[in-house]
Amino acid sequence: MNEIQRSKIILKILNKLYPSTPIPLKHRNKFTLLVSVLLSAQTTDVNVNNVTKNIYPKYNKPEHFVRLGRKRIENLIKSIGIFRVKAKSVYLLSKQIIEKHGGKVPDNFDDLEKLPGVGHKTASVVMSQGFGYPAFPVDTHIHRLAQRWGLTNGKNVVQTEEDLKKLFPKRSWNKLHLQIIYYGREYCKARECYGLTCKICTTCYPARKKPLITKKA
């Protein structure tokens, strides 16, 4: 079975399991989506949602966070990992969005990736989930699963994104990256399966006997 055949099987399984894909990070607008994605680094979506549910009803625009200032933002998000670094990024990107983009989140990769604390993965999530632009955000979980499923050599997340984009139809990207995340959380967890037990792994590699060691992002 080659990677094209595997990709078709995977898409079929995921579409059956996850016909709808709600966005995991709770948000009120494109700006709060951007903030939530930034906050989600090295923590879980659940942790982020637990914190932002008390923030977004009152603070949900760039000008709100500029007025708050870094220290008050730190206090609001201190239960999230590396909160000082994240608070600085939220404050500075809020300021930049006001000064350079008229208070609106940029709708292109170049400008998004120039915002403080925003890398390609964060920009991809905002373009995909915020603007509906075809993108394929690859985090550590998708990077791991793509290797287990034989869709990439796992060199790095950049290579994995390129490989996945070649294998799957462009129209499927926005939904598919969420389907993969959901599947990984439920069936093909980091410290379970190891390429041996879930439906996708056993269907794509029925003869695999040893745990697959994947390369880290």
The residue behind tokens 């094209």 is: 4
Active-site residues: which are they?
Answer: 121, 139
- Report the alpha-carbon distance of residue 54 to residue 209 in Å, rounded: 47
Reduce the secondary structure of the chain to three states and give it as a string: CCHHHHHHHHHHHHHHHCCCCCCCCCCCCHHHHHHHHHHCCCCCHHHHHHHHCCCCCCCCCHHHHHHHHHHHHHHHHCCCCCHHHHHHHHHHHHHHHHHHHCCCCCCCHHHHCCCCCCCHHHHHHHHHHHCCCCCCCCCHHHHHHHHHCCCCCCCCHHHHHHHHHHHCCHHHHHHHHHHHHHHHHHCCCCCCCCCCCCHHHHHHCCCCCCCCCCCCC
Residue owning tokens 């008050």: 72
- On whether the CB atoms of residues 198 and 208 are closer than 8 A, the answer is no
